[in-house]
């Protein structure tokens, strides 16, 4: 006589009892339970999955035995759309990829276009300093969202309030400078769209006073918090070998102790002239990544201070009317628009200026045939842009190497073998932005 297992129509286990001892029946039931696996779909609209990410988790009790990412729910076709717009119009598309760090998307794209044009060294110094200034403020605002949402996902509402409170101040500065809080389209091939408006420097100086106090509130709440440390220490572990094998960069890589930051390793936008430290940690876990992001925000504040010291008067767009589009914008009572002096020049004083302006607006600038790969250090790691030109006024191909996409490969290595509750902490430590993943 023996006992067998079969599936009931309601998916509940049934034990056939054919005269065995009760101990044998219980042993058979236990063996069945040990073999049972549960598959859980976490997302794509779960509040703890960093946007529209879907995690397919196979569980043995509360232990994750297999973790897989399913992406594509936010796919926008931006890279393909770029092939049907001029090089300058492309900025409006790429800024919407990683929507938490739009200035980085714009900068890496423009650096690639300028490299293809061969005008990298001709970009005005003031424009380059403004780019660095905005990127570092953007790095702080992005990290604030990472810590705010990470805290909320683990049950702490305080970090959410503090993080978004400070981010609002930064977005107000962005709005004063570009007219928009997000998706700015402000950094253009050849420079930036318009110079800093009156009062912008004063607003940034006020930020430099208020932000350290706001960051301290966040740190006081989390850094020594017993619950926060218990939920993040030893969670999402990935060592240096794992990072190198998976291509993980940014805070994930630096949490292994490797001091790799493209601002130091292969400087761009004059970063070699700024004094700052690359923040590292040796924990290889989510808590170490938290500490790195906190440290990087303080280093970014140092860079912003240096940018204000370097803001000498000068142009913010390249002095080449065949490339400088749009030309001579200014903030007026009705918003951002073309300056009266530029309108007078192209409509009345200069036939050559009118021709250049007309061709730039209707056709776009022509970029010599070739291809280039440019990489910068975004808040999440190496953000690269591969641009291909066939010599026309539109890109032949644009492809982004977004760090969120690459870093997501680490989900399985970080989560398998751990508790399902730790998946949330590991994912918060990765800090993926699905706009950059799906594109």
- The pTM of this model reads 0.85
**What is the rounded distance in angstroms from the CA atom of residue 347 to the CA atom of residue 141?**
42
Stretch 84-111: mean pLDDT: 92
**pLDDT-wise least confident of 7-16, 122-131, 311-320:** 7-16
H/E stretch holding 287: helix 286-310
Higher pLDDT pick, 242 / 38: 242
Q: Label residues 54-82 b or e (16+ Cβ within 10 Å = b).
A: bbebebeeeebeebebebeebeeebbeeb
Higher pLDDT pick, 136 / 51: 136
* Mean pLDDT of all residues belonging to the chain: 86
Output the pLDDT for position 10.
46
Output the pLDDT for position 28.
65
Each residue's pLDDT tens digit, 172-213: 999 988 888 888 889 999 889 888 888 889 999 999 999 999
Residue 128 confidence (pLDDT) above 70: yes
The DSSP output letter for 57 is E
Output the pLDDT for position 39.
85
Higher pLDDT pick, 321 / 274: 274
**Contacts of residue 410, Cβ cutoff 8 Å, sequence gap at least 6:** 238, 242, 243, 246, 248, 252, 430
Query: Inter-axis angle of helices 125-153 and 200-222, to 10 degrees?
Result: 30
Each residue's pLDDT tens digit, 244-253: 999 999 999 9
Query: Inter-axis angle of helices 125-153 and 286-310, to 10 degrees?
Result: 150
Output the pLDDT for position 47.
63
């Amino acid at each position: 006589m023996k006992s067998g297992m079969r599936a009931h129509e309601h998916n509940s286990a049934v034990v056939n009892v054919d005269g065995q001892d009760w101990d044998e029946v219980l042993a058979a039931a236990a063996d069945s339970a040990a073999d049972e696996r549960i598959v859980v779909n976490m997302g794509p609209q779960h509040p703890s999955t960093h946007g529209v990410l879907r995690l397919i988790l196979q569980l043995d009790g509360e232990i994750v035995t297999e973790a897989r990412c399913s992406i594509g729910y936010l796919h926008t076709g931006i890279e393909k759309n770029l092939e049907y717009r001029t090089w300058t119009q492309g900025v409006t598309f790429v800024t919407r990829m990683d929507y938490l760090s739009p200035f980085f998307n714009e900068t890496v794209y423009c650096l690639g276009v300028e490299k293809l044009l061969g005008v990298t060294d001709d970009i005005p110094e003031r424009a380059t300093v403004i780019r660095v200034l905005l990127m570092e403020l953007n790095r702080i605002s992005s990290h604030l969202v990472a810590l705010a949402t990470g805290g909320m996902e683990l049950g702490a509402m305080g970090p959410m309030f503090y993080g978004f409170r400070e981010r609002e101040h930064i977005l107000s500065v962005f709005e004063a400078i570009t007219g928009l809080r997000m998706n700015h389209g402000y950094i253009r091939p050849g420079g930036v769209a318009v110079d800093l408006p009156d009062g912008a420097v004063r607003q940034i100086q006020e930020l430099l006073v208020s932000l350290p106090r706001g960051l301290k509130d966040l740190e006081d709440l989390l850094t020594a918090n017993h619950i926060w440390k218990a939920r993040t220490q030893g969670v999402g572990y990935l060592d240096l070998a794992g990072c190198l094998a998976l291509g993980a960069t940014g805070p994930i890589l630096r949490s292994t102790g490797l001091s790799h930051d493209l601002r130091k390793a292969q400087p761009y936008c004059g970063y070699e002239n700024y004094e700052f430290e690359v923040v590292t940690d040796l924990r290889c876990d989510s808590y170490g990544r938290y500490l790195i992001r906190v440290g990087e925000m303080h280093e970014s504040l140092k860079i912003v201070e240096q940018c204000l010291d370097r803001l000498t008067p000068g142009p913010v767009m390249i002095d080449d009317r065949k490339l400088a589009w749009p030309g001579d914008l200014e903030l007026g009572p009705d918003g951002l628009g073309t300056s009266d002096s530029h309108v007078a020049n192209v409509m009345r004083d200069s036939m050559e200026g009118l021709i250049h302006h007309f061709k730039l607006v209707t056709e776009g600038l022509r970029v010599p045939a070739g291809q280039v790969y440019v990489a910068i250090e975004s808040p999440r790691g190496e953000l690269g842009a591969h641009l291909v030109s066939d010599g026309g006024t539109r890109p032949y191909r644009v492809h982004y190497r977004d760090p969120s996409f690459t870093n997501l490969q680490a989900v399985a290595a970080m989560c398998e073998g751990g508790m399902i509750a730790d998946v949330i902490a590991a994912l918060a430590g990765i800090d993926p932005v699905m706009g950059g993943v799906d594109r």
